[in-house]
Structure 1
Amino acid sequence: MAPIQASQAELDRRKIVGINAEIVTDVTSTDFPGHWPGEDHSWDIEKFKKNFQVKMYKNDKIEANFSLVGIDAAVANALRRILISEIPSVAIERVFIYNNSSVIQDEVLAARLGLIPLKGSKAGIIDFLKWWTKPAEGEPEGSTSNDLNTIRLKLNVGCTRNKDAAPGETDPFKAYHNAHIYAKDIEFVPFGHQVEIFGSEHAVVPTNPNILIAKLRPGQCIDIEMDAIKGVGRDHAKYSPVAPASYRLLPTITITQPILGTDAEKFARCFPQGVIGFEPVTKKEAKQKGSGYVGHEGEKKAVVLDAMKDTVSRECLRHEEFQGKVKLGRVRDHFIFSVESVGQWDSDVLFVEAVKSLKSKCEALRQNLRNMPE
């Protein structure tokens, strides 16, 4: 017997996660072999190619918003986790403090410096810079550091009085020199082959020069050296190249019965701006029996403009006048990604790197399966 083919409307209905006033329904996916009698839901690469889509909404250097349609939640979550924890970046790992007379304790200052995102030559960080290894027991500290695995930085700033300031000046920016120390005061000190790889325009510097490190007053200074190394987010959050990387399911809003007049205005206020709009009831709709619009020609009715802007607050389900008139849901296989780079990588490149990483993991798994003894 030939497999039963469900209608497209039925297949679309099965993808909706129901959002109700008290509970969420139809959470579990059912498009797997054996769940629907007589239907063939075995995974097929050609079917996947036909259904899979990538929709880009925003593609800036720092932020990217896009949708992945037609994939399983496990794949979407794998990409999210790779973005957070497995794409390499550079961060300060060791801080050598020669003088710190500020009010910030040494360990707190070191922690603040480690969290400053750095950027530089992408080719240098990925291809030239190698992974730093910890010295073996008995070896001196720094014995494994060299120009191939360590970026050297320094910060040497002292606060002095401004002799040209007006008497009684209280503004620290006018009364003192170097009253505030910012990330832009960190200097890159290339050595070895780094002079060639990390040239002037590719120098390793903080992604945001205006990050405040400390406040000083006359007589106080900070004199330190720092070693930055390559790492990944699973080792420490400071190596994560994104802040943040997240996804959400596409919301759906279905108006099942007319919502008119003042009720339509109240209905729109239940959602973020731009989700619900208004249209006048047409003459044709007003003449159609059973439509709910009879006798309301020209009156304002609520329509869905852009469900993607909805945050699924379920506010509309709290009001009696909307009971039975609206259904809320989310599309199970439509993931809206938001990727914000800390500056070392372009946001769209981050996602491409995550796909490459997932592909390499799949290749490694396939090779291991081939090598398994029968």
Structure 2
Amino acid sequence: MAPITTSSEEPSRRRIININAETVTNIPSTDFPGHWPGESHEWSRERFQNAFQVEFHKSEALDASFSLIGLDASIANAFRRILIAEVPTLAIEFVYILNNTSVIQDEVLASRLGLIPLKGSIDGLNWMRWFKKPTDEDPEGSEPSDFNTVVLKLSVECTVNEDAAPDEDDPRKRYHNAHIYARDMVFIPSGRQQSFFTNGNEIAPVNPDILIAKLRPGQVIDLEMHCIKGIGADHAKFSPVATATYRLLPEIRILRPIIGQDAKKFAKCFPKGVIGLETITSDEAAQRGSGYEGHAGEQKAVVVDPFKDTVSRECLRHDEFKDKVKLGRVRDHFIFNVESTGQFPSDTLFLESVKVLKLKCARLKRNLADLMQ
């Protein structure tokens, strides 16, 4: 039997998910052994190393955007889920209220405090260990210690400002401590925490201007907060990200020339910067069969930056563009957008998710070895 050969364009075609006017086709991945006759798609570490790429598009303190190229959707989604639910962070878990005469109930106040994102030394956070809560198997749990518990205190009382003008209406000027903010929480280091959380790396709220409560003269809030490590799968307050999403890279193929007023209309069907207009040169107009014959000097539509496209399919609604454009998405090009809550820099969060996945793989490998014995 003669060997089966494929065209050079076939691998590229398989990478594209087709976006049609009302349907989406070519969705399943087919690059696995046995699907295509005469082709071997066995996983190879060397092939993966040569094909896999990471490209950073934006790297700010709290916001990062990067592309993972050459991955399967299951792996990309695993990173997304780990970012949301399995990267450990520090958050307020126990609130011991000594006195609360504000209008906010104790349990509501404790919930508000728990949702305040915290920051501190990354080395110190990695040094800290897990705090084990009491369970039926272990009724005592862990004892609070310097390596598993961080203590914060909040002790404020609202009083009248004697220096305020008699007709002052702003309570923040008329009273002292009328508004209680996250910056009023005080970090109380203990033991070895003093060597980790120092020199500007103390445990503190990411945003000091988060409003906690409003008080009036005579009202008091006096409490102590214990912070422990946890993961987002237990509670959303432990999630290190505000958002962690990905999308597939859009692909726009202009199959037939779009010229003149149609080119301008075509550009308006996409977000700004996706489609550009270029002047048709005399050489292009002289090429027989190019579709530009007799249009020298006119403008044509060209794809400038598909990265900015939202794949709205607006261009597919117009009859003049029928059979002239093909929309799709590249199935193995994942554009990640990660917004950190502040405990970790946004560009290191992906590395933290890789560490977690490596630990999960090592655990699985160890358990498989135990089964084989």
What's the counterpart of residue 165 of structure 1? 164
Q: Is the 8 A contact 1:52 1:71 kept in 2?
A: yes
Give the whole-Å Cα distance in 2 for the aligned partners of 1:161 and 1:60: 42
**Partner residue in 2 for 1:17:** 17
Structure 1 range deviating more: 167-176 or 301-310: 167-176
- What is aligned with 1:279? 278
| Structure 2 match to 1:62 | 62
Aligned pairs for 1:74-93 within 5 A: 74-93=74-93
Contact 1:62-1:346 within 8 A present in 2 as well: yes
Task: State how 1:34-45 maps to structure 2 within 5 Å.
Answer: 34-45=34-45
Q: 1:94 to 1:296 in 2, by over 3 A?
A: same
The letter for the 2-side match of 1:29 is S
Aligned to 1:27: 27
2:185 maps to a residue whose letter is I
1:202 Cα deviation from its structure 2 partner: 2.2
Give the match for residue 190 of structure 2: 191
Distance in 1 of aligned mates of 2:365 and 2:6: 33
Q: In structure 1, what is the equivalent of residue 306 of structure 2?
A: 307
| Structure 2: 5+ residue stretches without partners | none
Q: Give, in whole Å, the separation in 2 of the partners of 1:300 and 1:266.
A: 12
Identity in percent:
62
Name the counterpart of 1:361: 360
1:132–1:150: 8 Å Cα contact kept in structure 2? yes
Q: Distance in 1 between matches of 2:274 and 2:176?
A: 51
Aligned length: 373
- 1:17 Cα deviation after fit: 0.4
TM-score normalised by L of structure 1: 0.93
Q: Deviations over 1:141-191 (max 9, x none)?
A: 897222221111111122223322233222233323222211111111112
Distance (Å, rounded) in 1 between the aligned partners of 2:138 and 2:372? 42
Normalised by the length of structure 2, the TM-score is 0.93
Deviates more, 1:230-239 or 1:100-109: 100-109
Q: Which sits farther off after the overlay, 94-103 or 81-90?
A: 94-103
Structure 1: stretches of 5+ with no match in the other structure: none
Read off the aligned partner of 2:310 and give its amino acid letter: T
Between stretches 148-157 and 174-183, larger displacement belongs to: 174-183
In 2 relative to 1, CA 160–13 (structure 1 residues): closer, same or farther, beyond 3 Å?
A: same
Whole-angstrom distance in 2 between the partners of 1:59 and 1:138: 45
Residue 137 of structure 1, CA deviation: 6.5
Change (3 A) 1:212 1:11: same
- The separation in 2 between residues aligned to 1:296 and 1:166, in whole angstroms, is 77
Residue 114 of structure 1 deviates from its aligned partner by 0.5
Contact 2:132–2:142 (CA under 8 A) maintained in structure 1: no
Q: Is the 8 A contact 2:131 2:142 kept in 1?
A: no
Q: Deviations over 1:267-320 (max 9, x none)?
A: 222211111111111112222233222222111221111101111111111222
The aligned amino acid for 2:168 is E
Question: Matches of 1:359 and 1:142 in 2, distance apart?
Answer: 28
Q: In 2 relative to 1, CA 25–214 (structure 1 residues): closer, same or farther, beyond 3 Å?
A: same
- Give the SS at the match of 1:11: helix
What are the within-5 Å matches in structure 2 for residues 80-159 of structure 1?
Answer: 80-127=80-127, 129-135=128-134, 144-159=143-158
Pairwise CA distance, 1:205: 0.6
CA–CA distance in 2 between the matches of 1:91 and 1:164?
Answer: 38
In the alignment, what sits opposite 1:71?
A: 71
1: distance between equivalents of 2:140 and 2:168? 47
Partner Cα separation in structure 2 for residue 213 and residue 320 of structure 1: 57
